[in-house]
Structure 1
Amino acid sequence: MYDLDGETAIVTGAAQGFGKAIAELLAEAGANVVLADVQMEKAEDVAAGIRDDGGEAMVVECDVTDVDHTDALVEQTCDRYGSLEVLVNNAGGGGGGTFTDLSPEEWRRVVSLNLDGTFNCSYSAVPKMLEHGNGRIVNISSMAGRNVTLNGNANYTASKWGVIGLSKHLARDLGPDVRANAVCPGGGPDSPMGRGIQAEDVAKTVLYLSTEISSFVTGTLVEVDGGGQLTPSASN
């Protein structure tokens, strides 16, 4: 049911964390996986592990805040594998503190990475997806995009809200040829599920949204937080 055999997926920020787990699971489902990151050594280790398990993977150094980099990422992907079916916009980051601690430079750094990076990769990938008419974009937002982060700053919250809005516009403007959805991870160990979130929880949701089993799902978001929003003390 979760078959990506012969298809190609780009995963940004794939060197660690959610991105690593996503790349590994998509490869397990049969996809050719392109790991895009600035941490080349870590990304190469992930790709080597995928190959050792019988999968197909390559690494492309990519700063998602630079559209020239994302154009090159898509070009190298299609040169190697011939097409691009799945894009997972996972690269992101944030910082702590409150609004009064936030400088314009730090605002721009996080918004550029989380929101501009998602736009840049989508902008570069969409023309290739429209060529075959079966594209899937999965954007990693956050439960901070549903309310407000307790662990980061306003730049992180604002950018993750923006990712959700961008996902909905992509779905509206590109359907039926491209489906676009957002995933909102969150949830601490005091959630109703009795544990905190794990990278595999996010990866499984991305796999669902990347395959034909979710063929009528677009323009929505999936909260992966163990019901954490039901616990007032949960940190999402």
Structure 2
Amino acid sequence: MAKQNAFRLDELSAIVTGGGSGIGRCIAETFAEAGARVIVADIDLAAARAVAESIEAAGGQARALAADVSCEVEVIRLFEDATAAYGNIDVLVNNAAIFPKKPFLEVDTEFWDRLQSVNLRGTFLCLREAIKGMKSSGGGSIVNISSVSSMQAVVHHNAVYNASKAGVNSLTRTTALEFGGDRIRVNAVLPGGIPTAGARAASAAIELKGPILGEGRIPLGGMGDVQDIANAALFLASPAARYITGQMLAVDGGFLVS
């Protein structure tokens, strides 16, 4: 492949979960600009449709599908419908997640189970269905969106989310090892502080304590933005990363080394 095309996704089909807003929307738009046929999957079908329509208006290819990634039946249907629309799925971005915060001693099993069901079970279910198809079609690339919080505690009240993302990291490494022989690459992007609307709302809902991603904690200075995460996801999904699997790529301005 020519060097200038190594970062392209031409003729490839991609599913982006949680693609209706925030990081997921930017990833879907960036993949479409790189030539991919994109399935914008989101629990909010109206939001997914808005993103797909925006992509098509810009000359890209996209379709919107509704899916609650915590529900096995809906995930199976998502992959069936995506395959019917675009054929083999070459790329999956596991982005859908929730991130409510709660003081550790106030966490009940309902809160724990709901967050894990979306962030960890949802990632597992999408991985499973994607890998099934990729094994049959000769390979593919999967990018899991994790968090620097999986590696380093950043704020209080985030233990349940941190645990879910640590699980995502483990799934990333395990599936990369198990399915590398099938030419399936699995990597993760670990965003640092990205001030999406959802992240701001989660933080505003509770008084945060403990160290934050503030002045002096980020060597490159300041927060990142959604495009930084989308660019990393594009790299890992593309042929430019053909010899990379099982890796955790922190996109955090250097926070983890500070």
TM-score normalised to the size of structure 2? 0.87
- The structure-2 alpha-carbon separation of the partners of 1:99 and 1:151, relative to structure 1 and needing over 3 Å to count, comes to closer
Q: In the alignment, which residue of structure 1 is the partner of 2:246?
A: 219
* Pairing 1:200-219 to 2, within 5 Å after superposition: 200-219=227-246
What are the equivalent positions in structure 2 for 1:120-199 lying under 5 Å apart? 120-150=125-155, 152-176=157-181, 177-187=183-193, 188=213, 190=215, 191-199=218-226
Alpha-carbon separation, structure 2, partners of 1:57 and 1:104 = 38
Q: Output the amino acid matched with 1:179.
A: R
Deviations 1:201-231 (A, max 9, x none): 0000000000111011001100000012344
Could you say what secondary structure the match of 1:51 adopts?
helix
Matches within 5 A, 1:67-86: 67-86=72-91
1:35 corresponds to 2:40: yes
- Residue ranges of structure 2 left out of the alignment (5+ in a row): 1-5, 194-212
**Per-residue deviation, 1:152:** 4.3
How do 1:9-24 residues align onto structure 2 when only pairs under 5 Å count?
Answer: 9-24=14-29
Letter in 2 for 1:180: V
The answer on whether the counterparts of 1:47 and 1:58 sit within 8 Å (CA) in structure 2 is yes
Q: Secondary structure at the match of 1:87?
A: strand
TM-score, length-scaled by structure 1: 0.95
1:118 aligns with 2:118: no
CA distance in 2, matches of 1:130, 1:163: 21
Residue identity opposite 2:93 in structure 1:
V
Structure 2 CA distance, aligned partners of 1:86 and 1:141? 17
Structure 1 regions of 5+ residues with no counterpart? Answer: 232-236
Residue number in structure 1 paired with 2:12: 7
Give 2:173's aligned amino acid: K
In structure 1, which of residues 96, 100, 107 is the aligned counterpart of residue 101 of structure 2?
Answer: 96
* DSSP-derived class of the 1:72 partner: helix
- Conserved in 1, the CA contact under 8 Å of 2:135 and 2:184? yes
Note if 1:45 corresponds to 2:80: no
Asked if 1 retains the 8 angstrom alpha-carbon contact of 2:152 and 2:256, the reply is no
Give the RMSD, CA atoms, in angstroms. 1.2
What secondary structure does 2:117 align onto?
helix
Q: Does 1:228 align with 2:255?
A: yes
Q: Is the 8 A contact 2:103 2:156 kept in 1?
A: no
Which letter does structure 1 place at the counterpart of 2:254?
G
Distance 2:67 2:137 in 1: 25
Are residues 44 and 151 of structure 1, via their aligned partners in 2, closer, same or farther at CA, if it must alter by over 3 Å?
farther
1:171 partner amino acid:
A
1:134 Cα offset (Å): 2.2
Number of matched pairs: 231
What secondary structure is seen at the aligned counterpart in 2 of 1:175? helix
Q: What secondary structure, in the 3-state scheme, does the structure 1 residue paired with 2:253 have?
A: coil
Task: Provide, for residues 42-63 of structure 1, a one-character-per-residue CA deviation record: whole Å limited to 9, x for no partner.
Answer: 1111111100110000011000
